[in-house]
Structure 1
């Protein structure tokens, strides 16, 4: 993604008790075309930001009264400046130690005096590029919020539509050959709702991004191999896409933890999410079959599962399919290079349906192994120009930073590395292997 930075659109606040430096900042920045605000103390800076919201704040570390460290901390306490870039200026190496404290207190970077004009302006441009990226991502997040608001406004319409879809779903199970006569607008609305719910789940579960889609892919493969009717395959696919919807009721503090860090009690809480998800979907006519499938995905083939201790064929077929797909996909995320076929066979007849395991092994052999052979797991600082992404890249906060199939350039790698300091990429980056 490339941003064109228009200098007159950017406002920069310079804070320094030394008039020589404030005059120098003002001259440098105005010559570069930026709007400039000047404050000769931390106190006057705090007064200025009551009526202005600068994009970049440049402050000296050592000042009488409110110093740069305290100023940075106070600014970060104000939500208006959550995305404002703060650059602290240090006068000596000793002041540099104070600058490190400022970084811990909320500043983004520091610069030691004396510095060259070109170095100063290059750092300003670099941070404003990051600010432009932040602003663009903020707009996208705002758009998502607007979508949620619109969804709430249309709740009455959607409920009416879902009631109609419930009647249609009954006919589909008995008259699949008449699918083409169903009102296409109703189907579109239903599919749109599934898409929105799936996107909301994806956005909330940062350590599971792409997980539901992969589980749906595997589950659909198995269902087709079993020659199930088209409508039943679709119900299983939807259940796979929404199988983690019950996690909406789980606290953010638990959702944001990495799965490997769960305590035993936290795992027990998470094991209840299929029940919560099923109860939620049962409020919407048309989702009864999907809700039933989701409710029983933690049942075990030997009858020792949750919530109803169902066994063997008493467990809904869709639940048995998704249980195996979910287990394999989760294990593969922990070790992409491992072959989990033997591990799946180990759970045959106890945890999972052996027939479903056999078909899932077919999927692994037919699709997964070839994909694994063609992909490298790399960290951010191992990337090189010319490499091509095998998967989308997300930051810790959920922002999609790079798209699958993007070909990396030196400029793009540097830009992502800078943004990584603000919003880290915590997972491996998947790169396509070069074929000889």
Structure 2
């Protein structure tokens, strides 16, 4: 066996094995292919060619048809069986037509080259053969890759549903755990507020449970008025902590009824809503409750404290808390020097609507306390400005078309006020409707 390799500075393009029993043929092929930077191996017989293939990776094998012992057909047939990826070419003479056809069929020969050959033609055949090899190998690589990816996809599809179920179960469990933790935090937070409310009552001298009763009533009023659950909760928390500002009072101020406070003591006392807000403002969750606490002692008519805010400038939550606070405080003798029972306190609150309290809040409170509307208890009639007489008493607040408070409920109309209402009506260009208490100062007997 004769072997040789093309030695060039560049990496060989590919490996060719030439098999022929004539040394001059092998030498010619070696010289021709080396010029093209191919690695050339040579063998003088079929056995020698098989030995080379056992040791070397060969891209193309070129075999002569007529060789002693084993001819080209038998040689290439064995190559096809044992090294199917090696491309096979046959070198044959003009007289070997039938043998060539047999070699093509049995050895699955890619091309055959006739002797004598044309160098350009044989080089073109070799280039085509290498291109075919490259395409075939790329095809095999892509098929293997596709098969691998398809196998992975089938495995993924087979397990995807189970993975989705497992992941969904994990997420559901995590969500439930988070919800449970959140609910525990909310419960613990509210419990802490209730404990703080009890401590405030102990320090401020309030009757035990005062904060809880005020908070419960305030929340019921808020819900009756259509506030959201979150808004009603803020009102409830403000009710629990509405007197927290009193915890800094000196002992000499604790327990003195509000109606008996004077001078510096009264000035200090009236700061407690503001102090309560300052204590709670650092806690983000309590900021709305703090805002309510600051304004819960304001009055609808502007005569309250600490700012003297009036009407709808007072936060709704604070207007609600004011009613609940005063209803409880009237029964404890805090706002007045005598205690009232629940019925008396209810009626006093109702009578103060439009003055101390927002009439709409009082309506909701009165409905909760008695199951009736104030209109059912206090008869009223609707009249125009032209029907008004001095001495009539308003049963409801008089509001402008924009919602501004013009006159509060229980206001006694004077001659001067009647003239002002007539002038207001003329300038507004629309008629006013007022509600007055039935039977007051010869009110007309036209029922609303």
Q: TM-score, normalised by structure 1?
A: 0.40
Higher Cα Rg, which structure = 2
Q: TM-score, normalised by structure 2?
A: 0.39
